[in-house]
Structure 1
């Protein structure tokens, strides 16, 4: 879910919102909202016996799995901030007038 958010929303947020800090805030809030629900769904599935996201609760590698999930989502989070920055850069580049060449001077 968070990967879909980054792919679908990060660049348009950077393009649509003029203030870069406001764009970062909107992206951060959207990511936090989706991340909360994604984590809750994964934990509920793990509690019901699924080992797709996390290993069995008796496993000693549970900390490693949790750390891996944290690292993976942090990389996705940072990539989203990069896309917001790229969108803001593209917006400012489109709004900057081209350099004018005057031949009558």
Structure 2
């Protein structure tokens, strides 16, 4: 869920929101909401007996959830990278159209 969100939302946020800090904050809030929903779904599945996301080994401790933390943190960082890329593309497009083109020739 969060990977799909990152791919669909992060780059357009960078392109559409002029203020980069506001784009970062918007991405962080949306990511936090979807991350909470995804984590709750995974925990409910685990409680119901599924071991696809987390193991049932009680001796594993933090090692059982560390891969989940690493993957979600990498997706989170990639989202910020996509927001930055979108902002950079927006500024590049704006500066390319802002240059003046004179067609009447040079004046001497």
Q: Same fold (TM over 0.5)?
A: yes
The answer for unaligned runs of 5 or more in structure 2 is none
The CA distance in 1 between the partners of 2:101 and 2:29, in whole Å, is 41
User: Alpha-carbon deviation of 1:65?
Assistant: 2.2
Mapped contact 1:54–1:62 kept (Cα < 8 A): no
Alignment correspondent of 2:86: 87
Structure showing greater radius of gyration is 2
Provide TM-score, normalisation by structure 2: 0.88
Alignment correspondent of 1:64: 63
| Aligned residues: CA RMSD | 1.6
The CA distance in 1 between the partners of 2:71 and 2:59, in whole Å, is 20
Provide TM-score, normalisation by structure 1: 0.91
The CA distance in 2 between the partners of 1:103 and 1:79, in whole Å, is 47
**1:36-57 residue CA offsets vs partner (Å, 9 max, x unmatched):** 000000000000000000001x
Aligned length: 104
The answer for unaligned runs of 5 or more in structure 1 is none
User: Alpha-carbon deviation of 1:60?
Assistant: 2.1
